[in-house]
Structure 1
Amino acid sequence: MEKYFKRKLPLESEVTPLVSSNKKKFLEFNVESLVADPGQRPKISNYDPNVRDEVRRAYLQKGPCQPREHDFSQTYFGTSLRRFNADWFDEFGNWLEYSILKDAVFCLCFYLMKPDGASGDAFVKEGFSNWKKKERLQTHVGNHDSAHNQTRRKCEALMKQKQHIEVVFQKHSDQAKRDYRTHLTATIECIRFLLRQGLAFRGDDESHNSNNQDIVRAAASETTKVIIDNLGDDLFAVLVDEARDISVKEQMAVCLRYVNKEGIVMERFLGLVHVSSTNALSLKVALKSLLTKHNLSLARIRGQGYDGATNMQGEFNGLKSLILKENACAFYVHCFAHQLQLALVVVAKKQVEIALLFNLLASLCNIVGASCKRKDMLRESQIQKTIVALQNGDVSSGRGLNQETTLKRAGDTRWGSHYGTILSLISIFSSVVEVLEVIEEDGNNPEQRAEACQLLNHIQSFEFVFNLHLMKSILGVTNELSQALQRSDQDIINAMTLVKVSKQRLQSIRDDGWSSLLNEVLLFCDSHNILAPNMNDIFVTQGRSRRKIQKVSNLHPFQVELFYQVIDRQLQELNNRFTEVNTELLLCIACLNTSDSFFAFDKEKLLRLAEFYPYEFSSTQLLALDSQLENFILDMRLDDQFSNINEISGLSQKLVETKKHIVYPLVFLLLKLALILPVATASVERTFSAMNIIKSRLRNRMGDEWLNNCLVTYIERETFNQVDNETIIQHFQNMKIRREVPSRFEAKKVSS
């Protein structure tokens, strides 16, 4: 009967599950997502066969995981404690890897190229951790034909592109190779210019499959490598902050602070990591992953610098606390510049008159800068007044003088912005008044005219002018402190000194600054035709019943209720915010102050400071430090080369310059630990400013890896300039099989 009926073919949906159920699912390959720790890596066989060589090449180019500065844990073997020795990394070349997770060593060549049936699984699966039998490492290497050396030769062959069949099929003449090198070099030069300027790659040159992606990745990797090599095996601090980019993705920026070989404090951008959650645990995982990627360890952190967010500095579950649980020597310092800004914000919120001042300034910026027409009016008025002042001889002419200015907007998160707004308004006050008068008469609608009229009444009052000049005097003191704190080479001792100086200056203004401030305000009112009250007249309270109010002169509300009270609030906030200054750690560090021939030097406190770092100073080294400190302070006070040094950063550089850091190694280590402690997170904040330049509204679809690579080369331009084109070409060629090979190209070798 079947010959009379046409057999029905099975539907595609009916056979798909059978095929898909037998089909192996492979891992996706992404260079940025390569697992650094050998104890956590997936098998090479878990990747698609078509990309396995690319995975192998990426691991070979990245190099083995060798956290040399990690504090290797100790394990009992019988009655003795043993642990991994970092010197074995040098002894056994580029194949030996260490897993922090498993406290075991692995073989990179075996992981990538292990033949089926070969022995040596201990160096691939579980790892080797019998530190008592170091000879097993040499046994693993074996003779010339051992399984390890076979895998090593395979790794070397993989990196020699001239031996690949794709390259052999493409027979190139020497002239073609030279032309390829010329074209590739020219392309790199163009990309260098775009990266240094933060400019976009036009057309489809930013696409994922573009060679530009590989070139930029190579440039960023080599730039970061220079930074890591400069750090070496030294201790460092981390500066961390997070913010949203233009596409509303949370990005965590990480900077390193360390002392380089010349004794100079450096703050370098390490990388930008996208975090799906901003809770402390997620940030810690992301930070640890980034450090591991560059063979760095949490155990080598000796300082943490964050802002005041709860997820950062939380006492129990903040990022600070999570890191301190693993590393008790990673001391946390709240960003000094951030604390200073918070002190200002608190004063503005608690003092009604100052809050009103900043509200009026914000409204003034909005209405005067609402359109190009009003900005042009302000600019033209300012030009005319400058011309008249020059003709009358009121101002002098010269290069850089009498530049155009405009009203600057203030913001709670922009350090020093309030001070800039006040200065700009004082300098162009009369021009602003003229613009408001024009708006009052010719505004587009009644609301605008009413707002302009209200602002005119407020800003031409004595109360507004007094508050304006009062905050100019106070912020003039704190702004200098803020600018000094934002220096990347600022040290904690100098920062504490600057805070102390600012407090003294504020106290001096409170004690002796009333008369000069009042004269300045009266002079300003006279020059701008603003009515000023007689300070000896009885003060009249507006809008309140006057029956039970004590009669006081006009001097009382301005001097007592404003001048004294605002300065007292500012001083109180500075004392409350900068509590770190009174901690035992920083009090001990202050004894390294070089001022007045090391007047603050205290050997006992410096020995106590060394006790805060038990991993660097053992009981024996503490005894040696005692003697070194005695010789050190005598030497410093007798040597004229150290007589004019006022900062410990300068002391560090001079010690290296005179080679005395070799004579006093323990004292120099103590000095470096003091310099490592972060002062402010300005370097991280600048990273987000750069991020807004790179990932703009027109480039809001940038991937995370592309954004990070562009940021590394843009922020670290000076380091990027140290990377020559040949190094980038080498990295670019080794990333994957290229059908064209430049002349004089040599692949990276894997040593035994």
Structure 2
Amino acid sequence: MRGEWNGLQALMLKECPYAYYIHCFAHQLQLALVAASKEVVEVHKFFKNLNFIINVLDSSSKHHDQLQDAQVSEIAHLAEIGELESGKGANQIQRLQRPGDTRWSSHYRSIRSLLKLYVPAIVVLCEIAINESTSSQKGDASFALTELLSFDFVFVMHLMKKIMSRTDKICQAFQRKSQDIVNALSLVSTTKMLIQNLKEESWQSLLDKVKDIVRSRSKKDDVTVEHHYRVDVFIAAIDSQLHELNSRFSESVTKLLQLSVTLDPKKSFEKNDICKLAKKFYPSDFTEQDIIQLKLELRHYELDVPNDLEFKKIQTVAKLCRGLHETKRSDSYPLLDRLIRLVLTLPVSTATSERAFSSMKMVKTRLRSSMSDDFLKNCSLLYIERDIVDKISIDGIIDDFAFKKPRRVQL
């Protein structure tokens, strides 16, 4: 994708030299946070064992059916003793989800699915270890059951759930179509604060919860070295997340975010910061003469636009750009308008573009392998913009064709 000589980036730049290549922060951040966690030995072992356990439980239709039956029994038991609320859409049968390195938030969803199916998973692994026909299947189930009941596995599973529940918000937010780089700074700050609060306040509650789970299943307390779990696992895993967030949002990226915020109508207007933003991060789009002219534009802009009653209601940079064009002020401030457009077209995620590439698998299938480029383009456009297409009336399309002039058909 990003190859400078033969990759997609190189092909795009040949067609449009002014195009910008953007790393997908949502995808890249998710992979980086998981990789950082795996730097802790216990966390690395946990993810290896998590994959193994899910493979044992979900490797065949028979085991899958056994897991569903165990869920039904567990739900019925909890409802009978009054520990589970009933209602429409509640207590549905679920399945285990596999973590994948190329899928957003899949590790978090995988951990959550195993936590919800923890008791049924134990029941099924016991059945496989006792009743399965081959010794290899019995051995795999026995090993998976031992790991699932171990203090190390349960501790790291709950720890990673807590950590990933805090980082998942920023990963998901970066995938939205409406998310731009100006709004990213607050998300980064709040995520760091939540992880820091977890480090300072959640140790004892996490330890007590895991102790209760392990005691209820194994009838013994496996905790012998509390210092090891607190320093080498708990603190180390959290510190790795904080370090990765700090490195991903490095000083230059953070500076870009901070300078971009100066364009936000809700913030205080700083002419010098806006000029720095244009000069430092967009040197190919603004010459030295343009920077001088931009300073002159900003002097007039400061006295004009912020004092306009209509513009005082504007809350986002996107609406500011639209307002400048609707009031024809973009003609008076062309350089500022150019800078705003550059900031708006620099999203923190290429999730939408990646989904567009993935959609081709849905359109060009084995049965449609000989589609022409135009037909593929048109079908892909309808699939990608299906939210808009769903609003189009089929009857209206039929009426449009009916009113077309009749054409001569050659036989």
TM-score interval for Structure 1 and Structure 2 normalised by the shorter chain? 0.7 to 0.9
Shift in Å at residue 718 of structure 1? 4.2
Cα deviation, 1:709-750, whole Å, max 9, x if unaligned, reads 4322211224556697489969x999x98428xxxxxxxxxx
Q: Which residue is equivalent to 1:248? A: none
Q: Which residue is equivalent to 1:437? A: 126
Q: 1:283 to 1:428 in 2, by over 3 A?
A: closer
More strand by proportion, 1 or 2? 1
CA distance in 1, matches of 2:205, 2:329: 50
Q: Which residue is equivalent to 2:352? A: 683
Superposed counterparts of 1:1-400, under 5 Å: 241=1, 280-281=5-6, 283=8, 286-287=11-12, 297-299=16-18, 301=19, 303-305=20-22, 334-400=23-89
Q: Which residue is equivalent to 2:369? A: 701
CA distance in 2, matches of 1:384, 1:657: 62
CA distance in 2, matches of 1:406, 1:703: 37
More helix by proportion, 1 or 2? 2
Q: 1:282 to 1:342 in 2, by over 3 A?
A: closer
Computing the radius of gyration from Cα coordinates, the structure with the larger value is 1
Q: Which residue is equivalent to 2:207? A: 518
Shift in Å at residue 658 of structure 1? 8.2
Q: 1:727 to 1:403 in 2, by over 3 A?
A: same
CA contact (8 A) 1:336 1:578 kept: no
Shift in Å at residue 285 of structure 1? 6.3
Q: Which residue is equivalent to 2:238? A: 567
Q: Which residue is equivalent to 2:110? A: 421
CA contact (8 A) 2:382 2:389 kept: yes
Q: 1:488 aligns with which of 167, 174, 177?
A: 177
SS of structure 2 residue aligned to 1:430: helix
Cα deviation, 1:642-671, whole Å, max 9, x if unaligned, reads 4xx4x5345556x36985866974555433
CA contact (8 A) 1:687 1:715 kept: yes
Shift in Å at residue 403 of structure 1? 1.8
CA contact (8 A) 1:465 1:521 kept: yes
SS of structure 1 residue aligned to 2:262: helix
SS of structure 2 residue aligned to 1:532: coil
Superposed counterparts of 1:623-702, under 5 Å: 623-635=296-308, 639=312, 641-642=313-314, 645=315, 647-649=316-318, 652=321, 655=323, 659=327, 665-666=333-334, 667-696=336-365, 698-699=366-367, 701-702=369-370
Cα deviation, 1:353-374, whole Å, max 9, x if unaligned, reads 1111111111111111111121
SS of structure 1 residue aligned to 2:93: coil
What is the one-letter code of the residue matched to 2:5?
Answer: A
Q: Which residue is equivalent to 1:614? A: 286
Cα deviation, 1:192-251, whole Å, max 9, x if unaligned, reads xxxxxxxxxxxxxxxxxxxxxxxxxxxxxxxxxxxxxxxxxxxxxxxxx49xxxxxxxxx
CA distance in 2, matches of 1:387, 1:493: 49
SS of structure 2 residue aligned to 1:405: coil
CA contact (8 A) 2:159 2:234 kept: yes
Shift in Å at residue 454 of structure 1? 0.6
Shift in Å at residue 618 of structure 1? 6.2
Shift in Å at residue 533 of structure 1? 3.6
Q: 1:282 to 1:461 in 2, by over 3 A?
A: closer
CA distance in 2, matches of 1:733, 1:368: 62
Q: Which residue is equivalent to 1:714? A: 383
Cα deviation, 1:309-355, whole Å, max 9, x if unaligned, reads xxxxxxxxxxxxxxxxxxxxxxxxx2211231232232244221111
TM-score, normalised relative to structure 2: 0.84
What is the one-letter code of the residue matched to 2:12?
Answer: L
Shift in Å at residue 695 of structure 1? 3.4
TM-score, normalised relative to structure 1: 0.48
What is the one-letter code of the residue matched to 2:272?
Answer: E
SS of structure 2 residue aligned to 1:413: coil
Shift in Å at residue 282 of structure 1? 5.8
CA distance in 1, matches of 2:9, 2:238: 40
Shift in Å at residue 456 of structure 1? 0.7
CA distance in 2, matches of 1:729, 1:504: 58
Shift in Å at residue 525 of structure 1? 3.1
What is the one-letter code of the residue matched to 1:578?
Answer: F
Q: 1:448 to 1:603 in 2, by over 3 A?
A: same
CA contact (8 A) 2:364 2:371 kept: no
Shift in Å at residue 570 of structure 1? 1.3
Q: Which residue is equivalent to 1:589? A: 260
Shift in Å at residue 573 of structure 1? 1.5
Q: Which residue is equivalent to 1:229? A: none
Q: Which residue is equivalent to 2:271? A: 603
CA distance in 2, matches of 1:509, 1:409: 26
Q: 1:282 to 1:416 in 2, by over 3 A?
A: closer
**How many matched pairs?**
400
What is the one-letter code of the residue matched to 2:160?
Answer: M
Q: 2:227 aligns with which of 556, 565, 570?
A: 556
Cα deviation, 1:583-636, whole Å, max 9, x if unaligned, reads 654332122345xx415x422101222443327946434312232034444558
CA distance in 2, matches of 1:530, 1:675: 58
Q: Percent of aligned pairs with the same residue? A: 31
Range with greater deviation from structure 2 (656-665 or 476-485):
656-665
CA contact (8 A) 1:466 1:521 kept: yes
CA distance in 2, matches of 1:403, 1:286: 48
Q: 1:664 to 1:356 in 2, by over 3 A?
A: farther
CA distance in 2, matches of 1:465, 1:704: 53
CA contact (8 A) 2:125 2:142 kept: yes
Q: 1:568 to 1:487 in 2, by over 3 A?
A: same
CA contact (8 A) 1:491 1:648 kept: no
CA distance in 2, matches of 1:399, 1:368: 28
Superposed counterparts of 1:455-474, under 5 Å: 455-474=144-163
CA contact (8 A) 2:305 2:311 kept: no
What is the one-letter code of the residue matched to 1:451?
Answer: D
What is the one-letter code of the residue matched to 2:236?
Answer: Q
Shift in Å at residue 482 of structure 1? 0.7
What is the one-letter code of the residue matched to 2:8?
Answer: L
Across the aligned residues of Structure 1 and Structure 2, the Cα RMSD in angstroms comes to 3.5
CA distance in 2, matches of 1:617, 1:727: 52
SS of structure 2 residue aligned to 1:280: coil
Q: 1:603 to 1:739 in 2, by over 3 A?
A: same
Structure 1 residue ranges without an equivalent (≥5): 1-240, 243-277, 292-296, 306-333, 540-553, 741-752
Q: 1:465 to 1:610 in 2, by over 3 A?
A: same
Q: 1:652 to 1:454 in 2, by over 3 A?
A: same
What is the one-letter code of the residue matched to 2:126?
Answer: E
CA distance in 2, matches of 1:405, 1:458: 22
Q: 1:477 to 1:686 in 2, by over 3 A?
A: same
Q: 1:738 to 1:579 in 2, by over 3 A?
A: farther
